[in-house]
């Protein structure tokens, strides 16, 4: 090692040591929780000096686009999930867009989704699970969900299948797995694609198997409210190498070449192939096989993600513990509230604790939420409620299978509380105390 290299390494080490000292100084003297005065957030970033060090370490590389930390994060998440392929994207919504667009590729021949094909989903969720279906000119078919679990029953999905149905794409809402093994078997029997929107559910299991590993494709979000964060960020996972290559193409401008950034001629045939009517040997780096996007992350985002990934098992257990504490504290309120539960065989890594105020119980959601917010306890609606009641979706082409009765109840009567790892036992006790006062 020459003097210059040694000095650079030493300086970097000094900088990272100072980052740790900065974090320690930032945390010292932080005020404790005061019920009614301190805010109980519904979600938030949970991090320590590790995230700050990896972030600064990446910035010193000044690689900026996807690089060594991105490779480390993708391989680490793939190992956690036990899947062959993980590719990062810049958000969970982008992950859904890439996953669905993958199924429209001409490379899939008669299995590709084309305009007018139907995709079964739910209206009680987050809009960007549905948006890629609409944006690709397919037709969403909405099924109702169950109150309590907020995911649809298998028989409703099966009843919704029509002659033009090509796929099922829906979320494990608030971390609750739908009946995955049975739905996967149904999809295989009927020749349908299955896309798991796993953005709320990293670490959830069904029949002991991690969600996000059953479907043909699965998506993940690393927004600060989610199980781990990199600020903005997401991922697509699949065990199918062919689908993974198509997904990378859609993510990376639609190009046919699959070389990583900074690499050339990985296939060894860069100037010796025929593509369409292009001249023979046209540079493969600039051949486009899909109408794609640029949805990659930066290496600084991935650097934060690598530190968060190491904490994931602890985060999952803390979410389960916080949800269990709320469930125990609210159990006596079932006459007035529909409490959060899950299908048999599901082991959720909960995103939140969902409550529906029973119609005709003498309370309203607004009354309960106002009492909680007045005590500085944050609440959130269950995302968009009935998506079809929002202005942007009133005129979309769609089909409703059965009714959306429960979805409408969710729109007017449902909200959720936080269970994220930043909550303390004192905060959970305060939430239970306020809920007992307003609904007991």
Instruction: Tell me the C-alpha distance between 349 and 365, whole Å.
Output: 25
Instruction: Tell me the C-alpha distance between 20 and 9, whole Å.
Output: 17
pLDDT, mean of residues 9-24:
96
- Active site annotation includes 226: yes
Would you mind telling me the total number of residues written for the chain in this entry? Answer: 440
Residue 294 has pLDDT above 80, yes or no: yes
Edge-to-edge strand ranges of the sheet holding 209-210: 209-210, 205-206, 346-347
Sign of the dihedral through C-alpha 362, 364, 370, 371: positive
**HSE toward the beta carbon, residue 380, CA cutoff 13 A:** 18
377 DSSP assignment: B
- Please state, rounded to an integer, the average pLDDT across all residues of the chain: 96
Q: What is the pLDDT of residue 170?
A: 98
Least confident of 96-100, 266-270, 403-407: 266-270
Residue 60 has pLDDT above 60, yes or no: yes
Least confident of 28-42, 87-101, 240-254: 28-42
> Hey, what are 137's tokens?
């000119």
Please give the angle made by the CA atoms of 288, 289 and 291, to the nearest 5 degrees.
80
Paired with 331 in beta bridges are none
pLDDT, mean of residues 240-264:
92
Q: What is the pLDDT of residue 390?
A: 98
pTM summary value? 0.95
Residue 193 has pLDDT above 60, yes or no: yes
Instruction: Tell me the C-alpha distance between 285 and 263, whole Å.
Output: 10
Residue 1 has pLDDT above 70, yes or no: no
- Rounded percentage of the chain residues whose pLDDT exceeds 70: 99
Q: What is the pLDDT of residue 21?
A: 96
Instruction: Tell me the C-alpha distance between 8 and 188, whole Å.
Output: 55
> Where does the pLDDT of residue 262 fall: very low under 50, low under 70, confident under 90, or very high at 90 and above?
confident
Other beta carbons within 10 angstroms of residue 317's beta carbon come to 13
Other beta carbons within 10 angstroms of residue 360's beta carbon come to 6
109 DSSP assignment: G
Angle separating helix axes 425-439 and 365-374, nearest 10 degrees: 140
Rg (CA), the chain: 23
Instruction: Tell me the C-alpha distance between 172 and 150, whole Å.
Output: 9
Instruction: Tell me the C-alpha distance between 143 and 404, whole Å.
Output: 7
Instruction: Tell me the C-alpha distance between 323 and 207, whole Å.
Output: 20
Q: What is the pLDDT of residue 346?
A: 98
Q: What is the pLDDT of residue 219?
A: 98
pLDDT, mean of residues 393-417:
98
Instruction: Tell me the C-alpha distance between 254 and 288, whole Å.
Output: 5
Catalytic residue among 226, 284, 323, 398: 226
> Where does the pLDDT of residue 30 fall: very low under 50, low under 70, confident under 90, or very high at 90 and above?
confident
> Under a CB-based contact definition with an 8 Å cutoff, are residues 238 and 198 in contact?
no
Instruction: Tell me the C-alpha distance between 377 and 370, whole Å.
Output: 10
């Amino acid at each position: 090692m020459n003097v210059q290299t040694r000095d650079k390494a030493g300086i970097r080490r000094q900088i990272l040591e100072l980052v740790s000292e900065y974090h320690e100084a930032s945390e010292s003297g932080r005020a404790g929780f005061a019920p009614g005065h301190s805010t109980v957030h519904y979600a938030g970033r949970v991090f320590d000096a590790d995230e700050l060090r990896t972030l600064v370490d990446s910035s010193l590389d000044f690689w900026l686009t996807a690089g060594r930390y991105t490779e480390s994060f993708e391989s680490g998440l793939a190992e956690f999930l036990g899947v062959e392929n993980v590719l990062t994207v810049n958000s969970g919504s982008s992950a859904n867009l890439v996953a669905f667009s993958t199924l429209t590729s001409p490379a899939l021949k008669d299995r590709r989704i084309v305009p007018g094909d139907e995709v079964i989903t739910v209206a009680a969720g987050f809009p960007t699970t549905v948006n890629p279906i609409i944006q690709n000119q397919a037709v969403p078919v909405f099924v109702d969900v169950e109150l309590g679990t907020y995911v649809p029953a298998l028989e409703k999905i099966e009843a919704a299948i029509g002659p033009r149905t090509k796929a099922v794409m829906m979320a494990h809402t608030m971390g609750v797995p739908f009946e995955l093994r049975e739905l996967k078997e149904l999809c295989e029997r009927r020749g349908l694609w299955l896309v798991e929107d796993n953005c709320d559910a990293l670490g959830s299991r069904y029949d002991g198997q991690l969600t996000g590993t059953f479907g043909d494709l699965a998506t993940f979000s690393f927004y600060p409210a989610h199980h781990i964060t990199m600020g903005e960020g997401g991922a697509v996972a699949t065990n199918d190498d062919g689908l993974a290559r198509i997904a990378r193409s859609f993510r990376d401008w639609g190009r046919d070449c699959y070389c990583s950034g900074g690499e050339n001629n990985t296939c060894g045939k860069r100037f010796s192939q025929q593509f369409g009517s292009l001249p023979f040997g046209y540079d493969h780096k600039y051949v486009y096989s899909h109408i794609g996007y640029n949805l990659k992350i930066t290496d600084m985002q991935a650097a934060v993600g690598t530190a968060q990934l190491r904490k994931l098992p602890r985060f999952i257990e803390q979410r389960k513990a916080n949800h269990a504490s709320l469930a125990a504290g609210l159990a006596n309120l079932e006459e007035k509230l529909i409490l959060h539960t899950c299908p048999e065989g599901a082991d959720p890594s909960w995103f939140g604790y969902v409550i529906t105020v029973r119609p005709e119980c003498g309370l309203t959601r607004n009354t309960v939420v106002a009492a909680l917010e007045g005590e500085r306890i944050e609440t959130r609606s269950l995302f968009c409620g009935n998506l079809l009641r929002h202005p942007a979706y009133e005129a979309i082409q769609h089909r409703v299978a059965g009714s959306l009765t429960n979805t409408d109840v969710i729109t007017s009567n449902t909200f959720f509380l936080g269970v994220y790892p930043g909550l303390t036992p004192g905060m959970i006790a305060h939430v239970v105390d306020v809920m007992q006062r307003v609904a007991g």
